[in-house]
Amino acid sequence: MATGSDRLAGAGLVALSSIIFVYYTVWVILLPFIDGDHVIHIFFLPREYAVLLPLVAALVLLLLIGIFVTFITWKSRSPKKKSQ
């Protein structure tokens, strides 16, 4: 069973993910159809970052996965110490 702190952490992660999803969806899908001089544009980064930020996040994720796989592979190939 999940404890109260586990449920709170899970709810926090779901809430954070939902906020990021809504922000990015509004930024990428709705903002191009709103006039450039509208006040809502001050709450969003320039459009170039809509492509660059996910690209950088994906590259960092691939790098971390590669480092993890390399570490696990390297560790499993190291010779085991024989006990006498």
pLDDT tens sequence across 27-71: 999 999 999 899 999 999 998 999 999 999 999 999 999 999 999
List the domain boundaries for the chain. 1-44, 45-79
pLDDT of residue 2: 77
Summarize the confidence of residues 8-25 as an average pLDDT: 96
Is pTM beyond 0.75 here? no
Is it the case that residue 75 has pLDDT exceeding 80?
Answer: yes
How big is the CA angle at 14 (ends 13 and 19), to the nearest 5 degrees?
95
Q: What is the CB-side half-sphere exposure of residue 82 using CA atoms within 13 A?
A: 1
The span from the CA of 64 to the CA of 58, in Å, is 10
The span from the CA of 38 to the CA of 22, in Å, is 19
For residue 74, the tally of other CB atoms under 10 A from its CB is 9
pLDDT of residue 84: 60
